[in-house]
Amino acid sequence: MPTFSLETRRRAALGLLAGLVLATVGTAAGAASPALAHDSIVSSSPENGEVVTEPIQAVSMTFSDDILTAGAAVALVTVTDVDDGHHESGCVTVDGTTVSTDVALGEAGEYTVTWQVTSSDGHPTSDTYTFTWQPSMPTATTTAMTTAPACGDDWAGSAEAMAAGSDDSTATAPAQAGATPLNELPEPTMTILNSAPVGQTDASPFSVPLLVAGLVGVVAALIAVVVVVMRRMRHS
Ligand SMILES: [Cu+2]
């Protein structure tokens, strides 16, 4: 085995240590980033800030990854006017990356879309955006509901309710009846009202301190390995 000066060995060991630390940090950062990134909206209809002049029947948004619908997954969408009146139907439809709900808009003005979905990493995520309803011609308006309608119930904005012309069914929310039989719901759908309020903060089981602690442990282990290697080099 060729002989190297102590200085050369030290430099080699330090270089090895620096390389290992950089590789470890890079790997940990790469592994951590997907868990920290929640699905975000890549497009929506209407778009954020859009001025809508033609009647629309639905509001939909497309996310960066498939929205979860299994188990306790929650997908909520409300479309509210400036007086907090509701204009969405009670059922939210999730189809892959797209989440949508039927709507019947009321008076011209600003509408707020509030959404909450279960991100592809299993965490609830939510946000809001707005659009402006500015009909280009006189358009029938729908009276808002005071609370979010329950999925499966006839809603003031439904064609049936409007045809019936029943004032009793407008401006008041239907009773929050028990769970709607699954066979009455459009497929695929996943709506759970009155749970996991919008705005709930993300509760990640993988906290940043835990990640940092793990990283420090790995680096410490690497340093120990390098020290052992250096000692062996000295003894050789
Ligand atoms: Cu998450």
In sequence order, what DSSP letters do the residues of 72-111 get, joined into one string? Answer: T---EEEEE-TT--B-EEEEEEEETTEEEEEE---SSEEE
Higher model confidence: residue 186 or residue 128?
Answer: 128
Q: Is the pTM of this model over 0.85?
A: no
Is the Cα torsion angle 73, 192, 147, 142 positive or negative in sign? positive
Cβ contacts of 115 within 8 Å, gap of 6 or more: 61, 76, 77, 99, 126, 127, 128, 198
In this structure, which amino acid lies at residue 22? L
Distance 80 CA to ligand 1 centre (A): 27
The mean pLDDT value of the chain amounts to: 73
Place of tokens 């709507």: 103
Q: Decide if pLDDT at 182 tops 70.
A: no
Q: What is the pLDDT averaged over residues 83-97? A: 91
Distance 63 CA to ligand 1 centre (A): 14
Q: Decide if pLDDT at 213 tops 60.
A: yes
Among 72-81, 93-102, 139-148, the range scoring the smallest mean pLDDT is: 139-148
pLDDT of residue 214: 64
Give the fold, CATH level 3, of 41-193: Immunoglobulin-like (2.60.40)
pLDDT of residue 112: 98
Distance 34 CA to ligand 1 centre (A): 8
Distance 69 CA to ligand 1 centre (A): 15
Q: Decide if pLDDT at 85 tops 90.
A: yes
Is the Cα torsion angle 166, 167, 169, 171 positive or negative in sign? positive
